[in-house]
Copies of this chain bind each other. A is one copy, B any other.
Amino acid sequence: MNKTHFLHGFLNPKSVAFYGANNKGNSLAAIQIMNLIKSGYDGIIYPIHLKLDSVMGFKAYKSILDLPQVPDLVVIVLAAKIVPQIFKECGEKGVKRIILISGGFRELTGDYENSLTDEIKDIANQYDMRFIGPNCLGVFNNWFGENNAFNTAIWENITKGNFSIASQSGTLSSHIWFDPDSLDLGLSKSISVGNEANIDIVDCLEYYKNDDHTKVIGLYIEELKRGKRFIELVREITTQKPILAIYVGGSKAGNRALQSHTGSLAGDIRIFDGVFKETGIIKTDFIQEFLDVAMILSRGILPKSNRIGIITNSGGPGAMAANNAEKKGLFVPELSESLQEKLKEVLPSNGSSRNPVDCAFDMNLPYFYVELPDILMKSGEIDAIVQYGVVGFQDVLDDYLKNDRIAPYAEFQNQSAEVIDILTQKLILPTLENSKKYSIPILYVNPMSFTSPWSIRLRKNGAILFQLWDRPINALAKVCEYVAFKNKIINRE
C-alpha cells in the first residue's frame, strides 16, 4: 500500500457519509451503499437525508453537521446545483475527501468556463478538501481488508488481484466486471475520475506507481489535463509495471461523443499515439483486448521475445493462429531440426513438428498437456505458447450419455468428477510450473463453453483460457510489443 499518497484515504476510509441515498433499490446512491454492504465494508456508514430516519438499515442524519465525527470520506449523489452548498457544509465539518458522483457540470452545458465547476473547486481549495469527480462512479479498493473491499463503483464482487484501473469512463471502471464468472482477471483498485475537476488520472498513476498491490495498470483516457507530468510519470512506471490504455479520440464521431460525455476537448490522436509508443504504453482500441492483455500481464509471466509456439490438435485453428500471429507482428519460427526430431519421437505419424506443432487429434492427455509444452518450453526456441484443443472429453461424453439410444451401447471410460479434478491438476500444474520457470506464458483454447465443467477446472488450476483462437493471438501481440519496448530500454541502460 501507498499510505503516504493522498488517494490512500479515498480508498481506505473508516467512515463514509452519503448524500442522496434513500431506500429505493434502483437509485444510484442506494446502489452505492448496497455495493458497500455487498463488498463486506466494515467501516461506519452515515446516510444524510432530510426526511428519512434510516437508510438501508443505517441511522440517517439530517445534516453532516450532526454526525458524531468527521467522516473520512463523503460521497455525494445530488443535483448539481445544490452541490456547492453541500461542499461548504462538508468544509465546515472538517471533511477532507469527497467523491462527487453527480453529473450535470461542464459535460452538460459544453460550458468550459463552467461557473459551477469553478465554484466547487474554489470551495474545495478554501477548505483544503480534495474531490474525485464530478460525473463519476466512485472507487473500488479490493484490498481494503483481508476479506472485504471498499466498493462504491462496481456491481459485482471481484477476485482480489493486481490490476488497477483509472478511468474517465464509469463503465470502464466498473461495468466491464459485470460478468466476473467469465473474467479471470483479479482486480486491485479502480478509480472512476469523471470530469477530473480536482483529481485526475495523473494522481491515480502517482498512487499506483508505489502501490504494492498494483502490478498492472489500465487507463481509459479521453483527455489529459497534465500532459507533461503524465509523460514523465509513465516513463518511470512502464519499465516496472505495464500500463495499458484505451484512448478515445481521433474520429469526428468519437470527439463529438467525448464532448457530451466528460466534456473533454479531444486531443490529437497522432500526439497520443506518439506518446504511447515512446513511453511504452500498450494501446488498444478494444475493451475485450484491454481485458485480455490485462489478464495475461497480471499473471506476471512475460515472454522474453515474440517467438510463438503453436500446439494444436486441429489443422485449421493452428493455421489461422499462425497466420494471424505473423500478421500481428509475432514470429512463428520453423523449429530446428533437432527439436523437430525430439517432437517426432512423441508425435503421431500424421502429426507435424514444424510449428504449428500438430498432433492430429492424438488425444493422449499427459502427452498433449504436459509433454509437448515441456519439450517446447525447454527448447529455448519459443517465447510463448498458444495451445488449441484443450477440450473436455468427459463433458462431450456426459452429453452423449444423456441420450438413451446411445448410453446402453457405447463403452466409455467414464470418470468421476473427483478423478477428473485430480487429472486436471496433473495435466495443468507441471506445465504452469514450467511456464513460470522458463518465463514462457501458455495460452489455452477450448472451443467449448467458457463455463463448461472442463473449462472451469482448467481455469481454477490457473490456466489462461480462451474459447477461440483470435483473442489470445491478438492479446499476445500487444504483450510482445510491450516486451520489445522493455528490452529496448534495458539494452539502452
Contacts and interface: CB of A to CB of B under 8 A. Distances in A.
With most chain B CB atoms within 10 A of its CB, the pick from A168, A249, A260 is A260
A117 interface: no
A317 B471 CA distance: 20
A70 to B, nearest CB: 25
- Determine how many copies of this chain the complex contains: 2
A171 interface: yes
Interface stretch (A229-237, A367-375, A398-406): A398-406
A182 interface: yes
Contact of A449 (B25, B181, B405): B181
Contact of A253 (B103, B322, B406): B322
Interface in A330-370: 331-334, 349-350, 352, 354-356, 358, 360-361, 363
For chain A, which range describes its interface: under 10, 10 to 19, 20 to 34, or 35 or more residues? 35 or more
Contacts of A327: 250-251, 285
Given A104-B350, A286-B324, A449-B181, A25 B397 contact: yes
A37 B403 contact: yes
Contact of A179 (B250, B331, B356, B447): B447
Interface stretch (A204-212, A426-434, A462-470): A462-470
A403 B286 CA distance: 34
A179 B467 contact: yes
A178 interface: yes
Interface stretch (A120-128, A145-153, A298-306, A409-417): A409-417
A171 B250 contact: no
B319 A258 contact: yes
A322 B254 contact: yes
A220 interface: yes
A253 B285 contact: no
A470 B314 contact: no
A254 B107 contact: no
A440 B227 CA distance: 42
Contacts of A408: 57
Given A104-B350, A169-B314, A326-B252, A319 B179 contact: no
A222 B356 CA distance: 15
A261 interface: yes
A469 B285 CA distance: 11
A313 to B, nearest CB: 9
A374 to B, nearest CB: 21
A331 B256 CA distance: 13
Interface of A: 23-26, 28, 30, 34, 37-38, 54-57, 103-104, 107-108, 155-156, 167-172, 175-176, 178-179, 181-182, 220, 222, 246, 248-254, 256-258, 260-262, 285-289, 310, 314-320, 322-327, 331-334, 349-350, 352, 354-356, 358, 360-361, 363, 391, 393, 396-397, 399-400, 403, 405-406, 408-413, 447-450, 452, 467-471
29 contacts: A23-B409, A23-B411, A25-B400, A26-B393, A38-B400, A38-B406, A57-B405, A57-B408, A155-B396, A167-B316, A168-B316, A169-B314, A171-B315, A172-B316, A175-B391, A176-B447, A178-B447, A179-B448, A251-B325, A251-B332, A252-B332, A253-B356, A254-B320, A254-B323, A257-B310, A258-B319, A261-B315, A262-B315, A285-B323
Given A251-B326, A256-B354, 20 more contacts: A24-B412, A25-B412, A30-B410, A34-B400, A34-B410, A38-B400, A171-B316, A179-B448, A179-B467, A182-B449, A252-B326, A253-B310, A254-B322, A254-B326, A257-B352, A260-B352, A260-B358, A261-B316, A287-B470, A288-B471
